[in-house]
């Protein structure tokens, strides 16, 4: 059962959709770049949510500030980090102590910032981190990163450049490259879902 919720982040109100499940595990799913049409109803975001829900997670997808009915204005990834922290606090206040972070494209970039700055999470999953579009050089480490996925034809998250960052971060996540897949996962959502559900099993 999906519930529409409002989460306060200072004087900003974030709209979100919570789908409660039977375990105490919960995942926050961050959406792609709002200036390019990204929001919580993006097909990749929805696929990530479905995958986690099938594995008994409660899922919370939300719109960053200035997106959809969330108030405020786009803040180039800075204020958006506060959005993530506010959503994490809301989940903890509502009984979810084990929180995972999953982000797609711009959402993966914002999540990586938050993880680098030391927030405590169970696991961190990045889908097509946009290393070919936004610099990740200021992120020196991202612990707790268990899974990274990109497409072989993804020019925004090129597989070789993602691998260079993985080496630089000195982490050993499961790293999946989906053949014949672009940044938008055209005709590849089923393969993305298969990877996510297998990882969460």
Q: Which domains does the chain have, with CATH numbers?
A: 2-200 (3.40.50.1820)
What are the respective helix, strand and coil percentages of the chain, to the nearest 5? 30, 25, 45
Give me the residue label for tokens 């992120």. Answer: 139
Give CA separation, 193 vs 58, 129, 174, 196, in Å.
Answer: 16, 17, 15, 5
- Give the containing element (helix H, strand E) for 198: helix 189-200
Task: Yes or no: say if 5 and 18 are a contact pair by the CB < 8 Å rule.
Answer: yes
Q: Rg (Cα) of the chain, in Å, rounded?
A: 15
pLDDT, position 146: 98
pLDDT, position 1: 86
From 136, 141, 140, 176, select the one nearest 156 (Cα to Cα): 136
pLDDT tens, the chain, 201 aa long = 899 999 999 999 999 999 999 888 999 999 999 999 999 999 999 999 999 999 999 999 999 999 999 999 999 999 999 999 999 999 999 999 899 999 999 999 999 999 999 999 999 999 999 999 999 999 999 999 999 999 999 999 999 999 999 999 999 999 999 999 999 999 999 999 999 999 999
pLDDT, position 122: 97
For helices 43-54 and 189-200, the axis angle rounded to 10 degrees is 30
Give CA separation, 107 vs 94, 95, 112, 159, in Å.
Answer: 23, 24, 9, 18
- Give the containing element (helix H, strand E) for 13: strand 12-19
């Amino acid at each position: 059962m999906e519930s529409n919720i409002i989460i306060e982040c200072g004087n900003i109100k974030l709209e979100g959709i919570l789908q409660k499940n039977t375990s105490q595990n919960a995942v926050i799913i961050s959406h792609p770049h709002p200036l390019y049409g990204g929001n919580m109803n993006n097909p990749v975001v929805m696929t990530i949510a479905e995958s986690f829900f099938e594995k008994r997670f409660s899922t919370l997808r939300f719109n960053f500030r200035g997106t959809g009915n969330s108030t405020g204005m786009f803040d180039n990834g800075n204020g958006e980090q506060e959005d993530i922290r506010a959503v994490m606090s809301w989940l903890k206040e509502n009984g979810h102590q084990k929180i995972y972070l999953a982000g797609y494209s711009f959402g993966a970039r914002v999540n990586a910032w938050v993880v680098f700055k030391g927030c405590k999470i169970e696991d961190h999953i990045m889908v097509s981190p946009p290393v070919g579009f936004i610099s990740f050089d200021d992120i020196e480490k991202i612990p707790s990163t268990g899974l990274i996925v990109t497409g072989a034809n993804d020019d925004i998250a090129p597989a070789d450049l993602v691998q260079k960052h993985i080496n630089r971060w000195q982490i050993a996540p499961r790293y999946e490259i989906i053949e014949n897949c672009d940044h938008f996962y055209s005709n590849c959502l089923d393969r993305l879902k298969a990877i996510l559900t297998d990882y969460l099993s």
